[in-house]
Amino acid sequence: MKTSFVVKLSFLILALATKAQLGTSESEPVLDVYGNKVESNLEYKLLEVKNGTSGGFSIHGGTSGECPLDVVQLSSPTERDHYVRLLPFDNSTVVRESTDLNLIEPVWTVGNYNDSLGKWFLTTGGIIGHPGAKTLLNWFKLEKVSVSIYNLVHCPSVCDSCVKLCNKVGIFYVDGVRRLVLVRDDDQPLRLVLFPAPNPSRSSM
């Protein structure tokens, strides 16, 4: 009986220690440009931190035809861009650093490799949720650069056994359009801040 009690007590202590460890290792929340926690039920404008002017992000005819549409950066802040929602893989309300999420405006995804240009372009047409091998290309993360500034990264953790890409997101010019692509660290990845929309219904206006 004593042995059984000791074994049970050992498992209980191990479980509590594991729970405490998981709690302390939880990623920090992503912060918007005002220092507020980014929430999955709100919409945000992504803007690049850089010298000079550039616009937000929108969608544009793809390099291989009109569809799927590519995700692009507008050349001017005066052009009408899109707000996006950021939905974590576990449907959490608070968006956290280095955590898989969908970007919805429609849903961003990594398109097929473009052999002629040697690039993986970000396109649209992904699906929301269902983390796993079949949705691997739909997942992105925000990696902290400094306070309220982030790299957008495609390096999904939703399938441990999958062969996957692991790159930051940057810009590549095609036909005068600034298209989002996967890049190496030395290719100047985008550094982004998040501006909350004036109200959640902005995208339906």
Cβ within 8 Å of residue 11, ≥6 positions away = none
- The owner of tokens 């999420």 is 101
Chain-wide mean pLDDT for the chain?
85
HSE toward the beta carbon, residue 2, CA cutoff 13 A: 0
What pLDDT does residue 76 have? 76
What pLDDT does residue 168 have? 98
What pLDDT does residue 25 have? 60
Q: How far apart are CA 142 and CA 31, in angstroms?
A: 10
- CATH T-level assignment (fold) for domain 41-170+180-194: Trefoil (Acidic Fibroblast Growth Factor, subunit A) (2.80.10)
State the average pLDDT over residues 109-119: 94
27 has a pLDDT exceeding 80: yes
For the four alpha carbons of 141, 108, 43 and 50, in that order, the dihedral sign comes to positive
- pLDDT tens track for 145-190: 999 999 999 999 999 999 999 999 999 999 889 999 999 888 889 9
13 has a pLDDT exceeding 50: no
Between residues 19 and 156, the one the model is more confident about: 156
What pLDDT does residue 65 have? 67
Least confident range of 16-25, 78-87, 94-103, 186-195: 16-25
Domain ranges of the chain: 41-170+180-194
Q: pTM here?
A: 0.82
